[in-house]
Amino acid sequence: MFHIATAADWRATLATGTYTTSTVGRSLAEEGFIHASRREQVQGVFDRYYRGLGEDLVLLTIDPTRLESEVRVEPVGDDTYPHVHGPINRSAVVDVEPLNRRGGTETLMSLWLKGMAVRMGAAVLVMLVVAAIVLGVQRLA
């Protein structure tokens, strides 16, 4: 089970031990439950409610067997979503991943590939500069 949270809301949870934000701008007290989703629903939830928010976001992975609050799978439109009817205890959150601006998580492989691309680009730039210097020296000779 998953929940998209602002990084600020998650940091507050680390101090209090419980998470109580239902969704963007709405608390558990206001909404009556905390919105959650299955893995395949995360991107759609991000696209509808979080894209362009301008805040750092994290994806919480929640182990329902560790939750102290009741989970109900309830219909929303043509689908069903898990709703947590109470606060999410910190011990039920088994993973926290930063979300990028497209709603995806950064894997170790994607981070490595990005780093490799930067290093390759720098190497090509250095080779071009060296080649330009060598050609310039040859023309002067």
Return d(Cα 31, Cα 84) in angstroms, integer: 11
CB 57 within 8 A of CB 44: no
Segment 12-41 mean pLDDT:
95
Residue type, 66: R
- The domain segmentation of the chain, as residue ranges, is 2-106, 107-141
Tell me what pLDDT residue 132 has: 84
Model confidence at 73, in pLDDT bands (50, 70, 90)? very high
Tell me what pLDDT residue 108 has: 47
Model confidence at 79, in pLDDT bands (50, 70, 90)? very high
SS3 call for 56: coil
Average pLDDT, the chain: 88
Segment 26-43 mean pLDDT:
96
Cα angle 93-91-103, degrees, rounded to a multiple of 5: 10
- CATH architecture for residues 2-106: Alpha-Beta Barrel (3.20)
Tell me, letter by letter, the H, E, C secondary structure of 92-140.
HEEEEEEECCCCCECCHHHHHHHHHHHHHHHHHHHHHHHHHHHHHHHHH
Segment 46-62 mean pLDDT:
92
Residue with the two structure tokens 């492989």: 109
Task: Answer with the residue of higher pLDDT: 135 or 102.
Answer: 135
Tell me what pLDDT residue 136 has: 82
pTM: 0.72
